[in-house]
Amino acid sequence: MKNYNESWIKRRAKEIKRAKQIAHHEALDYASEEAGFQNWQHFLNSKTSSIRPGLLVRFKAGKCLALAVSQKGESVMSYTDWGTLHCLRSEIAICRDQTQAGSFRPMRIVMPYGKWTCADGTEVLFNRDYRPIWKRRPNGVVVAADPDEWVKFAKQQYFFGDHSTPDEDPDSYRICMRQLRDWGVEHAVPVMLDLFRQAVAAGDLTRLERRNIYDN
């Protein structure tokens, strides 16, 4: 990601000032806008504003959204659609509209990476971290799965590959959403998502780690 720091903005402002023949403060506003800020003052405010867990942030390069998890100095850890990402504070902006923060559903958490079929006919959808998210019993009843359950399966099926993830590949996205619709859980909240939200609020993603490991 490009580092739109203060030095970059000031250098760019000098170029804009010469090209447009405008005042220095106006050029700073233009350069700040190119860096993803509303104006120069917005950039200055963003430098001093700390990142707290659960804030919705936007990456200036790529414009993707994420939830902030923690900040140590200038290093910020956030959770994107496809997992954790570390970056510099200057590489992200705090979204002015925070209404979507509470409904942020990372695809890595909620999208089915595949399906396990057990010997008794039970089916289990699991996410990219191989954590169970939904269970369909032989009688057709669908329930939220225990993400810490170690499933002993007879058959394993995948819905996409590592180079065709649903956050980037429309076909993979449609396949995953079709599975969720067929199971009747397209808008439902799996236990894993609740755990994720609790972990982000605490600024501690270790809470997402599996609590019990059993030999398969």
pTM strictly above 0.85:
no
Does 114 share its domain with 92? no
Does 112 share its domain with 156? yes
| CB contact at 8 A, 164 and 172 | yes
Does 166 share its domain with 150? yes
The string of pLDDT tens digits covering residues 109-120 is 999 999 999 999
Strand order through the sheet with 83-88: 83-88, 75-80, 65-72, 56-59, 92-94
The string of pLDDT tens digits covering residues 22-56 is 999 999 999 988 887 888 888 777 665 678 899 99
Domain boundary pick from 64, 89, 104: 104
With respect to residue 36, please indicate whether it lies within any of the assigned structural domains: yes
Does 100 share its domain with 111? no
Domain that holds residue 7: 1-48
Provide the domain count of the chain.
3
pLDDT band (50, 70, 90) for residue 4 = low
pLDDT band (50, 70, 90) for residue 212 = low
Q: What is the CATH number of the domain that holds 71?
A: 2.30.30
With respect to residue 174, please indicate whether it lies within any of the assigned structural domains: yes
Domain boundary pick from 48, 63, 82: 48
With respect to residue 213, please indicate whether it lies within any of the assigned structural domains: no
The string of pLDDT tens digits covering residues 146-178 is 999 999 999 999 999 989 999 999 999 999 999
Report the pLDDT averaged over residues 129-156. 97
Report the pLDDT averaged over residues 171-194. 97
Does 148 share its domain with 85? no
